[in-house]
């Protein structure tokens, strides 16, 4: 059991390291080249071949994940997580949410988003329209991914399993429709995945160690882990 846990930890550290290095290299490539080979062709194909109902659901997801809507959605999700799984789980969600804050400040690479002409314009960047990485992807992976993790960890019912796979579906839908809906170039989406992966793994690492961090303060420990009464 201990060896299995150690192996999982080593795999986690390796994934965090590899994804961080890949994110740095990929970000540098995007910043130097503007648009990468294959992005225009991939965007065109996904735009022309994605069923309308997929883009519709993508627009439904897109609506609340805005500069104003995202914090409100996060608050609503936090309340639901607290109600369902308690304070400890809510701390995990807050940790994940804190990692999404940087994407609301600025883009790493300021580049224009795609258009129906599939022409890349170097000088037409407007914040909130395109930009590397995709903030929606970072938000989806960090928040929806954390909900999936919490559902697996804290829920033993079939509902928890449904929630977990629903979150995976939302992430995949977000990945696809950010490109097919011409919100981002493919590299913006890939960059969002690469940058959020180590951040997500760091959050999981911290979350598992929260009990050890706070056990030195019995009052805080009791407050976080005490059973709720209704």
CB 142 within 8 A of CB 100: yes
Question: Which pLDDT score, from 0 to 100, does residue 1 have?
Answer: 54
128 assigned to some structural domain: yes
Per-residue confidence band for 69, with pLDDT thresholds at 50, 70 and 90: confident
87 assigned to some structural domain: yes
pTM: 0.88
230 assigned to some structural domain: no
179 assigned to some structural domain: yes
Question: Which pLDDT score, from 0 to 100, does residue 12 have?
Answer: 80
170 assigned to some structural domain: yes
Per-residue confidence band for 109, with pLDDT thresholds at 50, 70 and 90: confident
CB 43 within 8 A of CB 182: yes
Of 119-133, 145-159, 214-228, where does mean pLDDT reach its minimum? 119-133
Which residues, 6 or more positions from 118, have their beta carbon under 8 angstroms from its beta carbon? Answer: 40, 43, 44
221 assigned to some structural domain: yes
pLDDT tens per residue, range 167-177? 999 999 999 99
Rg of the chain over Cα atoms, rounded to whole angstroms, equals 19
Our count of domains for the chain comes to 1
Rounded Cα distance between 184 and 197, Å, is: 19
User: Roughly what angle, to the nearest 10 degrees, separates helices 218-225 and 87-99?
Assistant: 100
CB 189 within 8 A of CB 136: no
Structural domain span for residue 56: 2-225
Q: Encode burial over 10-25: b for 16+ CB neighbours within 10 A, e otherwise.
A: eeeeeebeebbebbee
User: For the residues 63-69, what does the mean pLDDT come to?
Assistant: 74
């Amino acid at each position: 059991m201990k060896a299995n846990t150690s192996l999982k930890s080593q795999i986690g550290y390796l994934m965090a390291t590899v994804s961080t290095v890949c994110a740095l290299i990929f970000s540098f490539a995007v910043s130097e080249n503007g648009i990468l080979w294959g992005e225009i062709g991939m965007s065109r194909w996904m735009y022309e071949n994605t069923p309308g109902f997929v883009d519709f659901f993508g627009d439904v997801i897109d609506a609340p994940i805005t500069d104003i809507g995202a914090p409100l959605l996060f608050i609503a999700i936090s309340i639901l997580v607290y109600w369902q799984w308690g304070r400890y789980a809510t701390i995990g969600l807050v940790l994940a949410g804190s990692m999404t804050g940087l994407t609301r400040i600025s883009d790493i690479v300021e580049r224009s988003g795609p258009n129906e002409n599939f022409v890349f314009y170097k000088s037409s960047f407007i914040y909130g329209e395109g930009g590397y990485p995709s903030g929606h992807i970072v938000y989806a992976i960090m928040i929806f991914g954390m909900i999936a993790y919490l559902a697996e960890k804290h829920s033993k019912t079939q509902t928890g399993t449904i929630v977990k796979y629903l979150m995976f579906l939302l992430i995949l839908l977000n990945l696809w429709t950010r490109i097919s809906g011409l919100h981002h170039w493919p590299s913006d989406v890939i960059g969002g995945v690469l940058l959020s992966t180590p951040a997500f793994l760091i959050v999981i690492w911290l979350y598992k160690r929260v009990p050890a961090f706070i056990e030195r303060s019995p009052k805080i420990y009791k407050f976080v882990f005490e059973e709720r009464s209704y």
